[in-house]
Structure 1
Amino acid sequence: MTHLEQFLQQYANREHIVCGDLNGWHTTWGSVRNNDRGREIHDLAIKFDLISCNIGNEPTFETEINKHGQIRHSIVDLTLATPRTANNILDWKVNKEIIPSSDHHGIEFKIKSDNIRHNKKKSTSTYKYQTDKTNWDNFKTKLKENFDASNILGTDIDELDNNGLDNYINEMTNVILKTCDATLTLKKPHQKIPWWTQELTDLKKKVISLHHRLQDLKRSKKDITNILKELHDARAEYSNKIRTTSSDHFREFCSRQGRDDVWSVTNRLLKSSPQPQPPATLKTDNGTYTTSILDTAERLAAKFFPEDTAADDTLHHMHIRETVANNIVNNEPAIRNNEPQFTTQEVLDIIKNMSPKRAPGIDHLTADICKQSIECYAETITKRTAFHHGCPQ
């Protein structure tokens, strides 16, 4: 309490949320009566203008006090906040399933933070969709509907200029993404505990199930002696298993490292490295340094992409340059090799050989999504062409 009071005194003009097992009873936060510790906390809250955010009278702490099955419960886990912050705390509740191995129950609440900027590291992953269990027939059906709604297939691609082609590609991509949003499952970022096992999951479920049974027996005023012992043993087994499993995993991780590697690996995981920055200066051939980023860029360009000179030209290069210059003057299209166009089947074969697990680009479209989209596009175009020429299809 002394340390908490010193902290609140030092930062009196800041916003605060104080959470923890403060071990005090007071009717302000739902206790049946007050005790000395509770009155001390209550006085401290009044002194520093803190508001209790606890809601209801659900116990936050429960434990058996003797072998006869008597249970002691109380509300000692508190959430105190300054007035402005307290107004932004929503959905405060006691969650008995968060920490099943503890006598203290978990506390959950949301903080409304619309006007608060968080310095959260943005994810750089381009994965957006989970395609492992996708119903591709449903995807194609929805994509055909979106094709028809957008009328994008009525565009003659051969008549488009560069800007028109870019717009067409963007429109096509948006149609596919709209279909993906409607039919595919979004990937949910999560951090999986590497040492977690199915056995731990089963033990956790067992503890939660026993806790629910205990509450049911208490409500029906039945004997809870046996269930208390069973719950106590299950909690102890669950806690010990977590401790031994995590320790064994870390021990095994360390044993895989070389003598000089283990601490470099763990320290690298813990340290916060600044983002790499491009060089602002560059040492030139005469020993001086560039004075700005623009100067550095110009020196690099001059070094690696020098201007063409007559001495560097070959007859082949001179012919290419003259041909391009004449085409520009005469406003003629650039010379193209008479290569055949890619067929739809060739494109499909290439995409089919690409792994759908490879990271997609900024459009989030993995290889399997592209393959299904092109197949749907080809099928739709074929049917439209056949119908246009009077085919019974």
Structure 2
Amino acid sequence: MILAGDFNAKHTSWGGDINDERGQDIVDWTTRHNIYIHNTYDSLPTFQTTRGKSWIDLTMTKTIIIHDWTVQEEDTLSDHHYVCFSLQIQKGQIQQRTQTRNDINNINTEELKIIHNTTKTHNKTKKTNQIWWTPELQRLRQATNHLRKKYQQERDTINRRHAEHEYLRQRRLYKNTIKETKNTTIRQYFTNTDPDGPWNTAYRIIRNKNKSNNKLSTIKKDGTWTIDRNETIQYLHHKYFPNDNEEEDEEEHKHIRQKKSKIIYERRDNHNHKRHKKQKSDSNRRDQQRNN
């Protein structure tokens, strides 16, 4: 079992200098059920903003071995940092699954409530393998990470303020470039269609780019072929726009019709009521004007 996420819990066992009630609950729960917390007290903070930092993203395991647990320094365009580790699967791991499941079933309701109230899972993955990723984005990410590290290491107040400004400016540039690159990639994907793609013919007809004479021909129906264009049109019309015959309705269709009729009648009554009310108000106003 691997349990990882933003627990928003503080304890000196995994970093920081304060303990809170939620952090102590997690320590007690993991100790009681032999669950191992891989966070270390000397790791980089898992959450950091310009206003502060904390160690609130935890990684826990039971009967599973992981190695090289680290908090990455690179910028994620989020307040949370990447947490990376290597997973080792041992022989016989599958046989241990039943035991782990039984251990989970033994967790009482109060403990499940603690887990529910303290966990908020995240699935942050690097997106460098996406089709929209470019060498320019790689360069911007490296520059952003460099300025971020420079800002974090600066101790002089004036220089730190300047470093923060440079880092945030670079971060905005990096974020906006990602957005623009994604949009451009999507536009190119839908405009530069593959000539052999299944939607290419429909796309060219809609955009009026097809120079050939695309007349509707015969199609196959019920094991036979239509003989001409008129029969093809009639068949398609009947198949995709069938006659609405109430006598063929099933119970579900009857219920939908009744519900629809009720809504129509209610709207009509409401409209008539408002119109009558307005007419009465206009009549009273005219009478008042004549009396004055």
TM-score (norm 1): 0.37
